[in-house]
Amino acid sequence: MNAILALEDGTIVKGKGFGVEKTVEGELVFNTSMTGYVEALTDPSYAGQILMMTYPLIGNYGVTNEDYESDKIQVEGFVVKDLCRNPSNWRMKKSLEDFLIENEKPGIENVDTRMLTRKVRIYGTMKAILTVFEGKPELSYEELIKKAKEQPHISERDLVDKVCVKNLTEYNVNGKYSVVLIDCGVKRSMINQLLKRGINLYIVPFNYPIKEIMELKPDAVFLSNGPGDPVRVKPVIEIVKKLAGKTPIAGICLGHQLICLALGAKTFKLKFGHRGSNQPVKDFESGRVFISSQNHGFAVDKESLKKTGLEVTQINLNDGTVEGVRHKELPIFSVQYHPEAGPGPHDTFFFFDEFLKLLNGEAFA
């Protein structure tokens, strides 16, 4: 199969197609991880995006469902330099191409991902069209570029509803505490880290009525990661506004941004985002630097936090953006990175231990 990737700036890249014949649209973003393509492909935070891996050889260890972060591929399309068609790994259940076919997703290989990554770094994320086809393409280059330009911007799309649970889901591990996890696109590894610490979970959709949340009598509320612009997730912002001071609240990634917005801060779109498993984060309290896994295109405006009651606890050492906050008086804290690390290092697993301390009433004593 043949494939074409068209960007809104007029760039046309031709390559070899894999997966299925299909035309998709989305924001082109890159991930710098050398491994973890299965976790990235199934991460709900990538909804609405075409994912490009900067590491050149992808697919060499195949796919196993043990690495899924959700029940399907969430990205719109996949861009790689070289696809390995003869993977080998004792855990492998299928090849990467079979995985894309199973999920009806298109991919493109034999393209210069370094050039594309440099372009995104210089000019920022771009709207793109990926088409995979046999023979000749249905659309001309000009039509593909026009289609790329005319698609909605990521900030104009409501994506959380497409990736969250639709009904209350319960995980009972006979733990001491029960927590309501508001699902904006939660990763399985996040759920697993909470369950490992003996926390019972009620997982609810992002627009679950606050009255019904309180009827569950949670010991805390936890906000998950998810896709898109945080300002569009108004139901969760309202939930946090009403629950702040009534119950402990914690959040990760999108959940972190929603907490900050609810308490009066602002967010902004990063030029090309943080996506990879090697982002350095400095913790002010301990003075330590941790390597973190990240996947976000928006960040919290540091200056806007001044009158919110929140204080910055951690920053990104690459660009100085906010990586963690904590309320000065209320039991509320959050982080921008992914401490559950799927894929990525395990440096920041301690976040879930801190959450357990919060439930024990220790963290804000």
Q: Is 282 among the domain residues? A: yes
Q: Which domain holds residue 46?
A: 2-151
359: amino acid identity, one letter: L
Catalytic hit among 164, 184, 253, 260? 253
Residue 306: which CATH number?
3.40.50.880
Query: What is the rounded distance in angstroms from the CA atom of residue 248 to the CA atom of residue 265?
Result: 19
Residues 6+ away with beta carbon under 8 Å from 160: 184, 185, 206, 226, 227, 228, 232, 233, 254
Q: Is 28 among the domain residues? A: yes
Residue after which a domain boundary falls, among 105, 131, 151: 151
Query: What is the rounded distance in angstroms from the CA atom of residue 299 to the CA atom of residue 335?
Result: 11
The yes-or-no answer on residue 338 being catalytic is: yes
User: pTM, whole model, 2 decimals?
Assistant: 0.95
What's the confidence (pLDDT) of residue 78?
Answer: 98
Specify the DSSP element, H or E, that contains 194.
Answer: helix 188-196
Number of domains observed in the structure of the chain: 2
Q: Are residues 98 and 170 in the same domain?
A: no
Q: Are residues 47 and 80 in the same domain?
A: yes
Residue 132: which CATH number?
3.50.30.20
Residues 6+ away with beta carbon under 8 Å from 228: 47, 48, 154, 155, 157, 158, 159, 160, 254
Catalytic hit among 256, 274, 296, 338? 338
The yes-or-no answer on residue 340 being catalytic is: yes
- pLDDT, one tens digit for every residue, the chain (365 residues): 999 999 999 999 999 999 999 999 999 999 999 999 999 999 999 999 999 999 999 999 999 999 999 999 999 999 999 999 999 999 999 999 999 999 999 999 999 999 999 999 999 999 999 999 998 888 999 999 999 999 999 999 999 999 999 999 999 999 999 999 999 999 999 999 999 999 999 999 999 999 999 999 999 999 999 999 999 999 999 999 999 999 999 999 999 999 999 999 999 999 999 999 999 999 999 999 999 999 999 999 999 999 999 999 999 999 999 999 999 999 999 999 999 987 788 999 999 999 999 998 886 54
Q: Is 364 among the domain residues? A: no
Q: Are residues 141 and 189 in the same domain?
A: no
What's the confidence (pLDDT) of residue 362?
Answer: 81
Q: Are residues 167 and 140 in the same domain?
A: no
Catalytic hit among 27, 39, 97, 340? 340
**CB-side neighbour CA atoms (13 Å) of 82:** 7
- How many other CB atoms sit within 10 Å of the CB of residue 91? 11
Tokens standing for 364?
């804000």
Residue after which a domain boundary falls, among 151, 180, 200: 151
The yes-or-no answer on residue 274 being catalytic is: no
Q: Is 365 among the domain residues? A: no
Residue after which a domain boundary falls, among 100, 117, 151: 151
